[in-house]
Amino acid sequence: MDEHVSRAMWRLYEPIHSVVYFDQDAPNRYRAVGLKGGWMSYFASRSAALGTPSAEVVEALFYHFAPALVKRAIPTSWELAKPDEILKVRHEIAFDAIRNGVGSTLDKNEMAQLAKELLEAAISLPISGRVLYAAHLNVDWGQSSEQLLFGAATLLREHRGDTHNAALAAQGIDGVQSHLLQIAAGAVTHDVIFPTRGWSVEAWNEGFHKLLSAGILSGYSTPQNPILTELGQSVKHRIETQTDQNSNPWTSMESSRLIRLRDRLAIVSMQVKKYVGFPVNNPIGV
């Protein structure tokens, strides 16, 4: 079965947004404005568009992460650096990665057209229920094609993320359980996702046993190697279908225009992944 166009496009724009997480020099650049690098930079830079949200708000938005991991960063980060300073560094990291990664692979006109069309698609999406997406609609991305391209990719991925969270919550899936479903679907591995999301072994095992008891995971499963039952496959399919269908500006786009956009996006995505050393096995699953 062919992959839904919404997911296929996500695989292309997600790496463009995610250069800010994988760029090797990013922690040092955040430290220069007062942050302590690492996870503090991640949570602060991703939520700074909301101003200075509380730890509870950030936990709700990024509920795939353990609350204790969030609390190490928020609200302390707002005492160390202002949100606009954090966003400025984030945009500079993205600009440098895209500019240096793409180089002359696309000419200026092609980059400008790509950024314009991707941004048009990004701002056409429904705002209702998408808090992180809505916050980023008010961000000043700058004027360069690289900055606007990063802005468009950010809006698209945060809209999809907000939509995905709503689909997960509607099925009663919590943060740990969302990772177990991803592992069972083959999108990520336990070795990559478990160390990066802050959950204790006890919390992980609790989430595992809840899915087991609900009949979503097979009795042959382990916390490290979950296996979906027929019911589990149905639940997972429902979540992904709702995400794809409700964060999808692509099917309304004229076919030849979408193909051109996709082909240019694929070039940029490949180049920036090479530039920042995007890991093949990564917790994003792309």
38 — pLDDT class (breaks 50, 70, 90): confident
2 — pLDDT class (breaks 50, 70, 90): confident
| Domain chopping of the chain, boundaries | 5-170+241-276
Give me the percent of the chain exceeding a pLDDT of 90: 95
- Span 128-184, pLDDT tens digits: 999 999 999 999 999 999 999 999 999 999 999 999 999 999 999 999 999 999 999
pTM for the full model? 0.96
Neighbours of 259 (CB within 10 A): 11
285 — pLDDT class (breaks 50, 70, 90): confident
Q: How does the average pLDDT of the chain come out, rounded?
A: 96
DSSP E strands in the chain: the ranges are none
Q: Given a cut of 60, is residue 1 above it in pLDDT?
A: no
- Span 70-124, pLDDT tens digits: 999 999 999 999 999 999 999 999 999 999 999 989 999 999 999 999 999 999 9
Q: Which residue has the tokens 């947004």?
A: 17
- Do residues 87 and 49 touch, judged by C-beta distance below 8 A? yes
Cα separations in angstroms, 92 against 89, 96, 119, 243, 286: 5, 6, 18, 30, 23
